[in-house]
Amino acid sequence: MLFQNNLTFIEPPETFRGTLILESDDGRIGDYTHWLPLLKTKKQKSKWYPFRYGVSACTAVVTNFNGTSGYTTRTQLQALVDAGWEMMNHGMNHVGSLSYELIGSAKAGDVNIEVFLDSMGTAYDYIIRSNTTQNTEIIRPLTVNGKNIILTSPLKNDYEEGSFIELTPENLNTDINGSLDTLISWGFDVKHFVAPFHHVGPVSLAKIAERHLTARTTSVGDTNPLPITNKFRMNGALAGTFNDEKIKSFIDKIYTEDSVAIFYGHGELYGKGSTLDKLVDYAIEKNVRILTRNEAYLLKMV
């Protein structure tokens, strides 16, 4: 253990086992104000990145949130990249992209509907389709309150319970690839995706796979054993589910399995003694390598 500039640098041997990826969703200001300064105090020297200062993470950016209250600016995102962080695509407006099922029936003239999951948004048009008739039409949410949706205009047709609602193909492409194009136009090299709410379906998974190398689309809180058979169904473990016991068991499992795990949060205001602080310290102590998603991909660990 070496000491330099009042910081503790731990230099483990090259015999790492397992890979930990740190990710923060939405591009919140805490990535810049708290995660970045904390991770800069860490050091994991290895042949993979011998000249990096500190441990790096990944920010999954919702492009239309960038620069608004509580979220990072483009200048702050660039500062993260300059520190070795990776930018990832998290969509343009943070909406789910699966097929939503209608709860109960809806009649022509209704403007209030209820859906099975609560990740629709007001930025896009959706298609509603009956499963038993030819009825279909374009709808637009005016307000979204969880599963309760108020439409901008009344339904033209009747729909039975279980009718499907999904983003129009044009709007699905806008949210996934439009966001990617925006991030690229800002000068970022973006290759990986994080699905908002982890709500995806076959159509959106295919769209994500067109221009991304991997995607986190589930959050059952476990590791990703190797080999990863579907790189677009990667699993993450939510920061808010961790305590000291889970930190230890999580890192121990990564090491024992020699697996890949994603720890993800939402720009929490982490500092010394926090969940992130303890997680990273224990990963370094156990010789679990800490990489960004693309570093893990390039090293064939994802």
Cα separations in angstroms, 12 against 43, 51, 286, 287 = 10, 15, 8, 6
Per-residue confidence (pLDDT) for residue 1, from 0 to 100: 34
Residues 11, 45 contacting (CB under 8 angstroms): yes
Per-residue confidence (pLDDT) for residue 9, from 0 to 100: 42
Per-residue confidence (pLDDT) for residue 7, from 0 to 100: 43
Per-residue pLDDT of the chain (302 residues; tens, 9 = 90+): 333 344 444 444 457 899 999 999 999 999 999 999 999 999 886 655 554 557 999 999 999 999 999 999 999 999 999 999 999 999 999 999 999 999 999 999 999 999 998 899 999 999 999 999 999 999 999 999 999 999 999 999 999 999 999 999 999 999 999 999 999 999 999 999 999 999 999 999 999 999 999 999 999 889 999 999 999 999 999 999 999 999 999 999 999 999 999 999 999 999 999 999 999 999 999 999 999 999 999 988 88
pTM to 2 decimals?
Answer: 0.92
Residues 90, 208 contacting (CB under 8 angstroms): no
Per-residue confidence (pLDDT) for residue 220, from 0 to 100: 87
Per-residue confidence (pLDDT) for residue 52, from 0 to 100: 56
- Here the tokens at position 298 are 């390039």
- Amino acid of residue 69: S
Spatial distance between the Cα atoms of 215 and 194, rounded to a whole number of angstroms: 5
Per-residue confidence (pLDDT) for residue 6, from 0 to 100: 42
Residue with tokens 């054993």: 225
Residue with tokens 């169904």: 233
Spatial distance between the Cα atoms of 174 and 179, rounded to a whole number of angstroms: 7
- Here the tokens at position 44 are 């994991």
CATH architecture of residue range(s) 9-94+174-298: Alpha-Beta Barrel (3.20)
C-alpha closest to that of 250 among 239, 169, 42, 181 = 239
Residues 24, 58 contacting (CB under 8 angstroms): yes
Spatial distance between the Cα atoms of 270 and 276, rounded to a whole number of angstroms: 7
Per-residue confidence (pLDDT) for residue 302, from 0 to 100: 85
